[in-house]
Chains A and B, each alone.
Chain A
Amino acid sequence: MKNYTTEEFVLVFRTNINRKKHVKSISRLLNNCGEIIRWNVDLTDIDNVLRIEATHPDCGPMIALVNRAGYACEELTD
């Protein structure tokens, strides 16, 4: 079995984005962010995880972005 590294960084946050309409309301903001390659919110799990594939490993700017849109957002660690 071999290990490999992908170029993008996966950042994982716990949020209170728990409805489709909330996801919609942050779509434009996240879609327009140049540092974000891909993103999605897992509405089926209790942490409402916002998963971002980004060009850098820095969580700060992402948290600020989501907070500005009016949602709680914290890095999901162990």
Chain B
Amino acid sequence: MQKNIEATLRTRDTNKEALIREKAIEIIVKHGFDGLSMHKLAKSAGVSVATIYIYFKDREDLIQQLYTEETRKMADATLRNFDPEARFDEGLKVQWLNRMNYCLENPYSMTFMEQLKHSPLVSRATMDTRFLNAMSRFVHKAIEQKEIVSLPVEIYWSIAFAPLYQLVKFHISKTSMPGRPPFVFDEAKINQTLELVIKALKP
């Protein structure tokens, strides 16, 4: 009976919770969503299955919470020292460096977010409004001041950020085109790419 009470007393341990989250992302990245079972997760985080259920209602809830948390972290990182009122080329450079550093420091997180991007497993309606407002202000101000052309947001995003993420992927995977040496995304290459991106978006 005593053991029973100890096992179920709800003392939440935030370190333990963080470890469960971290391991869950690692398993999903390595083995896909179907590869994530509560047993495997418990083993890899060194906790009991029952402990996982203290923090998460079910597998779906776990994945949704991971998405919400990773989105928040990514948004925080992207907005660091970013001024939505800045000139477009300056603001975009800050964002590129922030996004790149975040991806390089959290490669699992980046892959995880990619896996979820088009998955029905999560509701993506909960995007950080602070982040969306800053991005929206930055772009609309640039359009008003004729720094960039007005485009559907998907096209804008694909030109402004997709090149960055592709080159980060080359860098992380240490491969690029067949027969080419490993790609290193350094300051010079960032500037070279950024220049082309800004040129493409100019009116």
Contacts and interface: CB of A to CB of B under 8 A. Distances in A.
Interface of A: 1-6, 8-12, 40-47, 49, 51, 57-59, 75-78
Contacts of A2: 14
Contacts of B13: 3
Interface string B117-150: 0000000000000000000000000000000000
A40 B15 CA distance: 25
Nearest to B1: A58
A56 to B, nearest CB: 9
Interface residues of B, number: 24
Nearest to A41: B58
24 contacts: A1-B14, A1-B18, A3-B13, A5-B12, A6-B10, A8-B10, A9-B9, A12-B8, A40-B57, A42-B38, A42-B58, A43-B58, A45-B58, A47-B38, A49-B38, A49-B53, A51-B58, A57-B4, A59-B4, A59-B8, A75-B4, A76-B49, A78-B48, A78-B50
Contact of A9 (B10, B48, B50): B10
Q: Which 9 A-B pairs have the closest CB atoms?
A: A42-B58, A78-B48, A12-B50, A1-B14, A44-B59, A57-B8, A12-B53, A76-B50, A45-B38
Contacts of A6: 10, 12
Nearest to B57: A40
A12 B10 CA distance: 12
The A interface is mostly helix, strand or loop, or mixed, namely: loop
Interface of B: 4-5, 7-15, 18, 37-39, 48-50, 53-54, 57-60
Q: Which of A3, A4, A9, A44 has the most CB of B within 10 A?
A: A44
A12 B56 CA distance: 11
A57 B54 CA distance: 13
A20 to B, nearest CB: 13
Nearest to B33: A44
Nearest to A5: B11
A45 B37 contact: yes
Nearest to A10: B54
Contacts of B49: 12, 47, 49, 76, 78
B9 A3 contact: no
B52 to A, nearest CB: 9
A41 B60 CA distance: 11
